[in-house]
Amino acid sequence: MIRNGVGTGLFLAAAIGISVFTVRSAHAQAPTPGYNSPWRNPDGSVKLALEFGGGIDTAVGPTRHYQERGWNFTMGGGYNFNRRFGVLLEYGFHHAMIPPLFVQSANEGFAQSPIVGAIRLWSFTAEPVFHYFSTEHFGGYVIGGGGFYRKLTAIDGGTDSFTCSLPTFSTQCSVVPGTRFSNNAGGLNLGTGLAWRVSDRSNVKVYVEARYTWVDNQPSPTNIVYPPANYRTGYIPLTGGLRW
As beta bridge partners, residue 220 has none
- What domain range is 57 assigned to? 45-243
Give dist(CA 217, CA 229) in Å, integer. Answer: 9
Reply yes or no on whether the pLDDT at 29 is more than 50: no
- CATH number for the domain harbouring residue 204: 2.40.160.20
Per-residue pLDDT tens over the stretch 79-113: 999 988 999 999 999 999 887 665 444 444 444 55
Assess if residue 19 is contained within a domain: no
Cβ 92 vs Cβ 54: under 8 Å: no
Cβ 141 vs Cβ 130: under 8 Å: yes
Reply yes or no on whether the pLDDT at 31 is more than 60: no
Assess if residue 151 is contained within a domain: yes
Cβ 37 vs Cβ 64: under 8 Å: no
Assess if residue 35 is contained within a domain: no
Reply yes or no on whether the pLDDT at 166 is more than 60: no
Which of 4-18, 78-92, 223-237 has maximum average pLDDT? 78-92
Taking every pair of Cα atoms in the chain, the longest distance, rounded to a whole number of angstroms, is 126
Asked whether the CA dihedral 122, 127, 133, 138 is positive or negative, the reply is positive
Residue 86: its pLDDT value, please?
95
Where residue 162 falls among pLDDT bands split at 50, 70, 90?
A: low
Residue 123: phi, psi to the nearest 5?
-145, 145
Instruction: Pick 168 or 234 by higher pLDDT.
Output: 234
Assess if residue 1 is contained within a domain: no
Where residue 16 falls among pLDDT bands split at 50, 70, 90?
A: very low
Assess if residue 11 is contained within a domain: no
Q: Can you tell me the mean pLDDT for 146-175?
A: 68
Domains of the chain: total? 1
Instruction: Pick 102 or 141 by higher pLDDT.
Output: 141
* pTM as predicted: 0.74
Residue 1: its pLDDT value, please?
46
Where residue 18 falls among pLDDT bands split at 50, 70, 90?
A: very low
Q: Can you tell me the mean pLDDT for 159-179?
A: 58
Tell me how crowded residue 94 is: count the other CB atoms within 10 A of its CB. 23
Task: Provide the 3-class DSSP secondary structure of residue 6.
Answer: helix
Assess if residue 118 is contained within a domain: yes
Assess if residue 130 is contained within a domain: yes
Give dist(CA 131, CA 192) in Å, integer. Answer: 10
Assess if residue 22 is contained within a domain: no
Residue 148: its pLDDT value, please?
97
